[in-house]
């Protein structure tokens, strides 16, 4: 028998409406430029990534959810979506229904987050995953071919061959060019993700946003937005350290092909790992809050 989740909080109308308003205003600052570009057919290799690479749509990011167990007084369940129901105390998420559909996914996410959190951060990759994605390609063949490479294709390839590639993240590795894959010291797969993911990886820390989205609406939208905010900054470093020249867009390069650039990259990478750790812990705690009741 599934145990009920104890109420986390009961919010008066003024409280939950203020939280919803604050969330929408915060997210609108991110969504506005993206939606304007989309309407005009303009693509941005840095700012649009989180909206195109991940499946969470802008409207989903903007919609506020209080999280599992929170009761909203003087609310209409129709205004929150099909997974909400009215109770004597107020409107709340049908947590039992949502977790019944997603229990396996929640457990998988929780296991990945915990495994990642339990490992030391490795900071010696120097962002070579982005270089491996253009290895031995011409300017016309690279993914963001509207933007020039900082070095020639031959010089770019030489950097990859000199530095080597030490990428543990499958969802980066799968975009490597075919000749770059044998240069990686690992061969990540979806099946080995729990065994290889580590907290120094930029993409693992960006993916906290993905896992928060997959846990929504069971987790509060403020946590989803916190993960998005970090992912947005991580993506900026990711592309500044890439072989692309994005200086015209206001992104000075982190020249990881130089000693100074590698030091700069590691400093930023370490900072992101430190900032990601509490977000990862919060996501794990939310999984633990939901799953024991489901397994009780």
**Strand locations in the chain (E):** 9-11, 70-72, 84-86, 91-93
In angstroms, what CA-CA distances link 118 with 45, 187, 202, 210?
32, 21, 17, 20
Confidence (pLDDT) at 8: 73
**What is the value of pTM for the model shown?**
0.95
Structure confidence by residue, pLDDT tens digits, 198-225:
999 999 999 999 999 999 999 999 999 9
SS3 label, residue 12: coil
**What are the residue boundaries of the structural domains of the chain, listed by start?**
9-127+188-295
Residue 122: pLDDT over 50: yes
- Looking up tokens 């975009």 gives 175
d(CA 201, CA 179): 22
Backbone torsion region of residue 83, taken as left when φ is above 0, otherwise alpha when ψ lies between -120 and 50, otherwise beta: alpha
3-state secondary structure of 96: helix
Q: What is the pLDDT of residues 169-199, one digit of tens each?
A: 999 999 999 999 999 999 999 999 999 999 9
Work out whether strand 70-72 and strand 9-11 pair parallel, antiparallel, or are unpaired.
Answer: parallel
Query: Residue 291: which pLDDT band, with cuts at 50, 70 and 90?
Result: confident
Tell me the pLDDT tens digit for each residue of 223-243: 999 999 999 999 999 999 999
176 near 132, Cβ under 8 Å? yes
Contact at 8 Å (CB) between 115 and 226?
Answer: no
Report the SS3 class of residue 70: strand
Residues in Cβ contact with 42 at an 8 Å cutoff, skipping those fewer than 6 apart: none
Strand order in the sheet with 84-86: 9-11, 70-72, 91-93, 84-86
């Amino acid at each position: 028998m599934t145990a009920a989740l104890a109420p986390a909080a009961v919010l008066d109308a003024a409280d939950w409406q203020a939280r919803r308003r604050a969330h929408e205003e915060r997210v609108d600052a991110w969504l506005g430029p993206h939606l304007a570009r989309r309407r005009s057919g303009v693509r941005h290799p840095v700012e649009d990534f989180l909206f195109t690479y991940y499946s969470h749509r802008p409207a989903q990011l903007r919609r506020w959810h209080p999280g599992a167990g929170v009761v909203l007084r003087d609310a209409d369940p129709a205004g929150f979506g099909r997974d909400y129901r009215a109770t004597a105390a107020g409107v709340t998420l049908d947590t039992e229904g949502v977790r019944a559909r997603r229990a396996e996914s929640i457990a998988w996410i929780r296991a990945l987050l915990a495994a990642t959190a339990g490992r030391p951060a490795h900071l010696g990759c120097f962002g070579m995953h982005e270089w491996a994605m253009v290895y031995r390609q011409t300017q016309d063949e690279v993914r963001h071919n509207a933007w020039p490479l900082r070095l020639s294709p031959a010089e770019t390839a030489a950097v990859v061959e000199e530095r080597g590639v030490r990428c543990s993240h499958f969802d980066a590795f799968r975009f490597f060019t075919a000749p770059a894959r044998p240069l990686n010291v690992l061969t990540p797969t979806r099946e080995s993700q729990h065994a290889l993911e580590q907290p120094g990886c930029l993409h693992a820390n960006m993916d906290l946003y993905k896992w928060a989205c997959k846990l929504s609406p069971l987790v509060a939208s403020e946590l989803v937005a916190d993960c998005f905010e970090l992912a947005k900054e991580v993506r900026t470093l990711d592309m500044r350290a890439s072989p692309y020249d994005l200086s015209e867009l206001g992104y000075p390069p982190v020249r990881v092909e130089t000693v100074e650039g590698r030091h700069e990259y590691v400093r930023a990478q370490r900072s992101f790992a430190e900032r990601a750790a509490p977000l990862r812990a919060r996501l794990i705690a939310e999984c633990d809050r939901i799953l024991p009741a489901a397994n009780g």
